[in-house]
Amino acid sequence: LILVLDFGSQTSQLITRRVREQNVFSQLARPNLSAERIKELNPKGIILSGGPASVYGEDAPQADPEIFNLGIPILGICYGMQLVCDSQGCEVKSGESREFGRTPCTVSDHTNLFSGVPTNFVAWMSHGDQVQNLSEHFTSLASTETCQFAAVKHHSKPFFGLQFHPEVTHTEFGGMLLSNFVQKVCGCEGTWRISNLIEQEIESIRERVGDKRVICGLSGGVDSSVVAALLYRAIGSQLSCIFVDNGLLRKGEADEVSHRFGEHFQTDLHVVDAQEMFLSELAGVSDPQEKRKIIGRLFIEVFQKEAKSIENAQFLAQGTLYPDVIESGANPDGPAATIKSHHNVGGLPEQLGFELIEPLRELFKDEVREMGHELGLPDDLIYRHPFPGPGLAVRCLGEVTEERLKVLREADLIVIDELHKANLYRKTKQAFAVLLPIRSVGVMGDGRTYEDVAAIRAVETDDFMTANWSPLPHEVLERMSTRITNNVRGINRVVYDISSKPPSTIEWE
């Protein structure tokens, strides 16, 4: 285990990800986790992340000073480096010039951390403060034009500091630096694999569940499918799955989920057809938050009713991921909660009376995909774009009606089909059609038309918290537009959404 203490940098999570890429397990923890608790967790190394504060600021978050007496190797990054140096008697000051962006860096010591890194490389800097004077215990390992101590090490203790950010891809050889720290300095062997984790999870699920049943809600997306596949491997036919057809799914989706299920699992599947109920409660509602509330409430009602009909069920399995755990502040050792950018309508409240099983709690999305792959799920399911819990209701702007959903489904299918044909589905992380609540004038043959407008949305993103609009080739956009206006009755105009997040969101509602 490599523990990453989070001092509030935007890239703290990224550090844990990069360490895991070295096949070493890593977790994010709150900055002031006590040295005693750290000792219990027994990590092979500690990384102190960057952060927005100044070590001399009034509210500067501090680490427990005892962590420097545990004998555990420590790597400080940016603010983390300033903390390490400050604690060991070096002087940290506001730099004469702030350094931001790509910065040429020169290495003067190629042992340990910089083993294999060339003398000149480009590092990503983002700091105002920097270490001004080293105490006699430290030496410099690398420098930039304005930062004499871009990297430092302690003479006798296993402490290192990097003023730049090795975790971001803009830093050349950043992966090598982190790998040198975890392997050469901390002595991690790099044996952590998803397949080990699968075995561990299976054992712990079997032990917990005994002869009881486990219910798993399926959505058709990758997370719930991986949870189901893992549980199926652990407890076979003691698994019952529930799939709620809320009438807000894409074309053919409900059939596809059932069909797929039959291919992979020989166990109980409850498909609940609640289309009418959802659509009748949504009738006349056009406010986005109101729609979400109705859908969330109905989902819980429908799910609960079905779950109660399943005998001997004591557990509910959910696909909660590591970023959700971090963002919700649910882990007592983890960082405090941050504002969650969306409301997971698929999430079920604890009052349902089941014990929760969350086998993906330690995993990032790409690790979930790897697990899905190991469990034998097909690639097209593993790489499926995310689809929001409230479904097409938040893409059918204004009132949601059966007819409008039908129009939207046809347009959406064309967008996705053309993306696949252009081999851009994987590169684009989420894409869909949106049906706008306005009509515009068009011309068809000799006649004037007055019909709906569809927008195409396609984004590229790593984490869905920020996203750039995809620069789809004009030919692809043209094929989408022509097919939609020619084949989808009711749409005479197609526009392309060229807004990034922020300030826009990915969904339109």
Catalytically active residues are: 78, 165, 167
Residue written as tokens 């309508």?
345
In whole angstroms, give the CA distance from residue 54 to residue 452. 54
Number of residues that bind ligand XMP (CB under 6 A): 17
DSSP labels, 60-72: -----GGGGGS--
Nearer to ligand XMP, 45 or 323 (CB): 323
507 is an interface residue for ligand XMP by CB under 6 A: yes
Instruction: Determine whether the annotation assigns residue 220 to a binding site.
Output: yes
Task: By CB under 6 A, name the one of 43, 323, 335, 346 that touches ligand XMP.
Answer: 346
Q: Which stretch binds ligand XMP (CB under 6 A): 4-12, 242-250, 335-343, 365-373?
A: 335-343
Nearer to ligand XMP, 17 or 429 (CB): 429
Contact 485, 492 (CB under 8 A): yes
Q: Which residues pair with 430 in a beta bridge?
A: 459
- Cβ 333 to ligand XMP shortest distance, Å: 27
Contact 329, 371 (CB under 8 A): no
321 is an interface residue for ligand XMP by CB under 6 A: no
- Cβ 461 to ligand XMP shortest distance, Å: 8
What is the pattern of x (binds ligand XMP, CB under 6 A) and - over residues 410-449? --------------------x-------------------
| Window 373 to 402, contacts with ligand XMP (CB under 6 A) | 386, 388-390
50 is an interface residue for ligand XMP by CB under 6 A: no
What is the amino acid identity at position 316? L
Task: By CB under 6 A, name the one of 106, 344, 482, 487 that touches ligand XMP.
Answer: 344
Task: By CB under 6 A, name the one of 464, 477, 496, 497 that touches ligand XMP.
Answer: 464
- Give phi and psi for 180, each to the nearest 5: -60, -40
319 is an interface residue for ligand XMP by CB under 6 A: no
Nearer to ligand XMP, 74 or 325 (CB): 325
- Cβ 386 to ligand XMP shortest distance, Å: 4
DSSP labels, 70-95: S---EEEETHHHHHHHHHTT-EEEEE
- Cβ 296 to ligand XMP shortest distance, Å: 8
| Window 286 to 315, contacts with ligand XMP (CB under 6 A) | 292
Cis ω on the peptide bond leading into residue 65 (within 30° of 0)?
no
Cis ω on the peptide bond leading into residue 502 (within 30° of 0)?
yes
Whole-angstrom CA distances from 332 to 201, 335, 413 are 21, 8, 44
Alpha helices in 219-309 (DSSP H): 222-235, 253-264, 275-282, 288-308
Instruction: Determine whether the annotation assigns residue 333 to a binding site.
Output: no
Q: Which stretch binds ligand XMP (CB under 6 A): 89-97, 106-114, 182-190, 500-508?
A: 500-508
Instruction: Determine whether the annotation assigns residue 223 to a binding site.
Output: yes
Residue written as tokens 């060229």?
498
Instruction: Determine whether the annotation assigns residue 224 to a binding site.
Output: yes
3-state secondary structure 464-487: CCCEEECCCCHHHHHHHHHHHHHH
- According to DSSP, residue 137 is labeled T
Q: Which stretch binds ligand XMP (CB under 6 A): 6-14, 51-59, 302-310, 501-509?
A: 501-509
Identify the sign of the CA torsion 202, 203, 208, 213: positive
In the complex, the residues that contact ligand XMP under the rule CB under 6 A are 292, 341-346, 386, 388-390, 430, 464, 501, 505-507
